[in-house]
Amino acid sequence: MIDPVTLAVLKGRLEQIADEMDATLFRSAFNPIIAEAHDASHGLYDAESGATLVQGKSGLPIFVGAMAFAVKAVIDKTAREGPPDDGDVYLFNDPYDGGTHLSDFKLVRPFFRRGRLFCYLASVGHWHDVGGNVPGNYNPVATESFQEGILIPPVKLFEKGVLRGELIDILKANSRLPDSLYGDLNGQINALDLGARRLADLLDDYGEAVVAEAFDELRARAARLMRAHIAALPDGAYAREDYLDNDGISDIPLRIALDMRVRGERLVLDFSRSAPACAGPVNIARSTAIAACYVALKHVFRDVPANAGVLEPVEFVIPEGSLLSATAPRPVGGYTETVLRIIDVIFCAIAEAAPALANGCAYGTINALSLAGHRRDGSRWVMFSFFGGGHGGHPLGDGLNHGNAPISTATIPPLEILEAAYPVKFIQWALRPDSGGPGKHRGGLGGVYGIELLAESADVSLFGERGRFAPPGVLGGAPGACNRFQYQQDDGPHEPPLASKMVGIRLSRGQRLLLQSPGGGGYGPALERAPEAVAEDVRLGYVSPEGALRDYAVALDPEGRVDAPATAALRRSAAR
């Protein structure tokens, strides 16, 4: 049996391999969504099952679960068509056979050692544009995947080390930004090359048998730790539900419902009561739904290592035909919005079972915004970006202001980068007062983003959520503010009819957009928040004096200090 010191050293070395692969792509990618926002991930995967062995700490957690399915898709292909060769690299973006959406291109490389397949290395990155009806590919009115971009099944990009250039020609011909695509692809290829070299060095140092034993032990330890965490939860059934605003086609809310059952060391996550598959692009594949559950559980049980052992004690019930088990050609471009709602209902169910582990819900949308047009020289520009919001209050304190969505460790692209790359000017980039859900521990604040167009004209689309259903608080905490989007036209400001989704907006030079993202849900009753903490929130501009009075029953004097007698009277009245 491997000794603990060697295991710890190998764990660090293996994680470093994945981290270096992440860094290689982040530093070489052409598109800001990878280079600045880190919308990518790398890892090592089991040679037989595709299960996650190790993942980098800088990549997106949602890819941990999804990439295991992607590698399994390659394993299944080789089982049908013949075993892989040393030097092969498979490329694809099929969202139904590997998860997420068409923008996320996966590269899977079998790693051979002394002529035998040892494991797989894999890379995934969000490419800037892969065709479809809407620049940037977040098409909020798609009714089939053909309107979202080009779909590539698992194919060999390299065959025995030889690049198939004609495949790259096809990919570039289907992108509005072929140079960006080519640069990102080469960044991923180089990341895999580096990972293969680092893994070979590690095996030279320790040998295949010892490293394989480390893989097995790390997975077994993750499973044991997860079972222990589940066993510590009270046995029982816990039901929660939440809603998506709509599917972008019909203005009808879509239910995401969870029945969570705890039985000893087993956890059942049952989504049977969720909405059926819909016409619009908020469907997700089963693999994506499972990956979202993985992310939520890792948020709750933070000390469990990031590998496939996390999910061994967990059973998933996701019926066929559900919104959460879509098959081709159902549109899936807005998968981010649906997986965020899965995370929210798991957080709320955990709050019932174990309040000490609970979080208020985060802002619940990436607000995928696309502006696109042509420069004076005729060249195409596409600004695709996502935006931050508030995280939920938690047992130890207030939620994070203006964080990124909990599906990722990505960063929000800086306005300086966006202004340098595209003909836009940010006239506002600020925290949104009164957007955090009131609570004993307040939800974090959302953001306010004002954008002015500097080009002659641009086409705009928005794919968001939480325009009608605010991020819930937990344990008596109040919800955060809803999402709000406005765009300027010649006759004044307008808002999307479906609240959070719209395509076909046309801006002229000097016209502006205003996006106000949601805050996080509160934790615990607002009347339990210390009046001095509320006064400090007002001083910082997080809460308005009116919000202090309305939401917290805290009265302030003209200098901003707590009016203790008035506050005591207000709170006695509110508690009745």
Pairing mode of beta strands 266-270, 314-317:
parallel
What mean pLDDT is predicted for residues 406-420? Answer: 84
HEC assignment per residue over 405-461 = CCCCCCCCCCHHHHHHHCCEEEEEEEECCCCCCCCCECCCCCEEEEEEECCCEEEEE
Confidence of residue 537 (pLDDT cuts 50, 70, 90): very high
| CB neighbourhood size of 563 (10 A) | 16
Is pLDDT above 90 for 286? yes
State yes or no: pLDDT of 410 exceeds 80.
no
Q: Which amino acid is at 303?
A: D
Output the pTM of the full model: 0.95
DSSP state letters, 338-381? HHHHHHHHHHHHHHHH-GGG----------EEEEEEE-TTS-EE
- Quick check: 558 pLDDT over 70? yes
Question: What per-residue confidence (pLDDT) applies to 172?
Answer: 97
Distance CA 329, CA 432 (A): 39
Q: Provide the 8-state DSSP code for 397.
A: B
Q: What is the mean pLDDT of residues 395-412?
A: 87
Task: Quote the pLDDT of residue 413.
Answer: 84
Structure tokens belonging to residue 516: 């106000």
Mean pLDDT, residues 188-200 taken together: 98
Contact 464, 333 (CB under 8 A): no
The domains of the chain are located at: 4-222, 359-526, 531-575
CA distances from 18 to 43, 44, 431, 540 (A): 5, 7, 34, 40
- Residue 83: the pLDDT is 96
Residue with tokens 């300086």: 416
Does the pLDDT value for residue 98 go beyond 70? yes
pLDDT score at 60: 73
In contact, 72 and 49? CB cutoff 8 Å: yes
**Would you state the pLDDT for residue 409?**
67
357, 316 Cβ separation under 8 angstroms: no
Residue 99's pLDDT is what? 81
The arithmetic mean of pLDDT across residues 450-458, rounded, is 97
Q: Return the residue matching tokens 């049977």.
A: 272
CA distance 445 to 438: 11
First to last CA, the chain: 63
For the segment 432-441, the average pLDDT, to the nearest whole number, is 98
- Give which of 388, 420, 513, 516 is closest to 458, Cα–Cα: 513
Residue 114 backbone dihedrals phi, psi, to 5 degrees: 55, 40
Question: Quick one: what percent of the chain has pLDDT higher than 70?
Answer: 99
Please state the rounded mean pLDDT for residues 480-490. 98
pLDDT reported for residue 30: 94
| pLDDT tens digits, one per residue of 290-324 | 999 999 998 899 888 888 899 999 999 999 999 99
> Which helix (DSSP H) or strand (DSSP E) does residue 487 occupy?
strand 484-489
d(CA 63, CA 67): 5
Give how far the C-alpha of residue 549 lies from the chain's centroid of Cα atoms, to the nearest Å.
35
576 confidence band (pLDDT: 50, 70, 90): confident
Contact 485/513 with Cβ under 8 angstroms?
yes
Pick from 136, 112, 21, 8: which is nearest to 67 by CA?
Answer: 21
**Strands, E, within 232-289: which ranges?**
236-244, 254-263, 266-270
Q: What is the pLDDT of residues 351-381, one digit of tens each?
A: 999 998 989 999 999 999 999 999 999 999 9
What pLDDT, in 10s, does the model give residues 337-355?
A: 999 999 999 999 999 999 9
3-class DSSP string for 99-123: CCCCCEEEEEEEEEECCEEEEEEEE
The model's pLDDT over 113-152, given as tens digits with 9 standing for 90+, comes to 999 999 999 999 999 999 999 999 999 999 999 999 999 9
Task: Count the neighbouring beta carbons within 10 Å of the beta carbon of residue 165.
Answer: 9
* pLDDT score at 541: 97
- Calculate the average pLDDT of the chain: 95
Which tokens go with 32? 């800001």
CB 346 within 8 A of CB 297: yes
- Tell me the chain's radius of gyration from C-alpha atoms: 24
